[in-house]
Amino acid sequence: MIDSFPFDSWEDVTTTFWTFGPENSTGTYVLTVLGIILMVLAVVYWVWLENKKLNAQAELLRGAGGLPPASPTAPRPGFQEPPLAGPSTDPGP
Amino acid sequence: MGGNLESSLTGHLSLVFFLAFLLFSWTTGSIMSGAVIERIRLSAYLILTVLLGSGVWIMDAAWGWSAGGWLTTNYGFHDSIASLVVHGVAGAFALALLLNLGPRIGKYDIQGRARAFRPHNTHLTLMGLMLIFTGFYGFYAACLFIQSTVFPGWLNIYLSPTTLGTIAMVITFGFAGGFTGGWIASRGDPFWTLSGGLAGVISVSAGADVYHPSLAYLLSASGGMLAVWAGTYIEKKLRVDDAVGAVSVHGVCGFYGVLLVGIFAGGFPTGLNNVPTSLGGQLMGMLAFFPLAFLPGYIVSWLLKKANLLRVPAEVELEGLDMAEFQQDFFPEFERVPETVVLPTGEEVEAAPVLLDAYTQVNGHGAGEPAGRR
């Protein structure tokens, strides 16, 4: 039964009602480009805002006491490096 | 694709397939999410998800998850329900990311022995796994074409005949076998038993259109066991902190699944050229997809790490990310109970002193050592 639906004619009718015109029209391309720009800007803003929030919260927690200040040369995790709080590579005295 | 189907619904089915591919691209990101929780920045996760779902996944699907992909037409690569092209690739990408991200604070003690972090709520953890099981039936069905005018009415992604019943039976037996294997290998651990079900299905997905259900049960049982062993090895030997075992369940079992097809379904004709599936062809796919996933994941996460945009500050990680990221307590209705961790000796202790000690070690003040010496 589903094969008898007049999909093609319905599609023609609905596309004529699209606000900025059917596919491959200038309006559609303009909307697409605007959407991509907004998406990229949102990601950049997200990175900046999250960085600001995390640093502020870290400062707040350090300022409240109970946690020692972070070392400027604190080791970071990574390949070829010992894991956080993992085995020390320092043989010690 | 459309001309071969000879259906007036072709264009509309293409839209459905586009949405299915979109779902799968999100799936790759969700697989990665479990491995990196509790210390990655949301923005870094978003960027890496876009890379994985919109770049790596699209590329690997074009290579080996279409009737005209070069791996399919040249080597008969067969991964019918996406063991490798979704799960394995996401696992390899997650592994690369974890190498740069590092373990959670307190995960390993000063001797490098792994501690176990208890789940926040085991009921919800297991319920989440059951929701995944339910979704898998839809996931599998979305991997098929409807070809109503030709027997048997369905086609797999390589346009070879199959049936929905075949797929559904293999999933069901795959879960059963995976539970069995996961239960045996973990000696009854609830998390790994249910994760074993997932690993079992992933292990038989590549050949789900070919396997006899009884064979699927046995193969998925081996996959469930493999996931537990691989997860333990990754956590305790490699010291890679994969919080939910995503690399072993999805990554290892994804690659294992296509290897099994080469062994147990060799000779099955695949793709437009009907090239026989072979062990060599499956190995070729594995060799092609591992670097395709691993290298972008490692390079981009390394760049984010160098820009100090990959991981949250240690203080925030210790507190939990909700307050810093969202400025609210997500569980205000519950009385806070002290969190616990399981030491390598098996003893369960309160987490706070252990984590605080680990924090001081991270910041270079631990164990009597001067800052920055470690």
Average pLDDT, chain A: 74
Helix axes B57-64, B279-306, angle to 10 degrees: 170
Q: Which two tokens stand for residue B273?
A: 């050229």
Write out residues in chain B with pLDDT < 50, as ranges. Answer: 1-8, 366-374
Q: Which residue has the higher pLDDT, B305 or A88?
A: B305
- Structure confidence at residue A91 (pLDDT): 44
Going from the C-alpha of B40 to that of each of A12, B47, B117, B173, B268, the distances in angstroms are 47, 12, 17, 36, 43
CATH superfamily ID and name for B2-306: Ammonium transporter AmtB like domains (1.10.3430.10)
Instruction: Please name the member of A47, A50, A67 whose beta carbon is closest to the beta carbon of B359.
Output: A67
- CATH 1.10.3430.10 segments of chain B: 2-306
Q: Is the complex ipTM higher than 0.90? A: no
What pLDDT is recorded for position A4? 74
Residue B310: its pLDDT value, please? Answer: 95
Which band of pLDDT confidence, cut at 50, 70 and 90, is reported for residue A79? very low
- Nearest residue in B to A8, CA atom: B8
Tens of pLDDT, residues A17-61: 777 777 778 888 998 899 999 999 999 999 999 999 999 999 998
B273-B276-B279 Cα angle (round to 5): 135
**Using the beta-carbon criterion (under 8 Å), do B315 and A57 form an inter-chain contact?**
yes
Q: Which residue from B239, B323, B363 is facing A74, i.e. has the nearest CB? A: B363
pLDDT at A83 over 90: no
pTM, 2 dp: 0.86
d(CA B16, CA B22): 10
For residues B314 and A61, the answer to whether their CB atoms sit within 8 Å is: no
Q: Does A35 touch chain B (CB under 8 A)?
A: no
Tell me, what's the pLDDT at B271? Answer: 81
In one-letter notation, the amino acid at residue B347 is E
Which pLDDT belongs to residue A72? 52
pLDDT in tens, B205-230: 999 999 999 999 999 999 999 999 99
CA dist., res. B335 & res. A65, Å (int): 24
Contact call for B315 and A58, based on CB within 8 A:
yes
**Spatial distance between the Cα atoms of B44 and A4, rounded to a whole number of angstroms:** 48
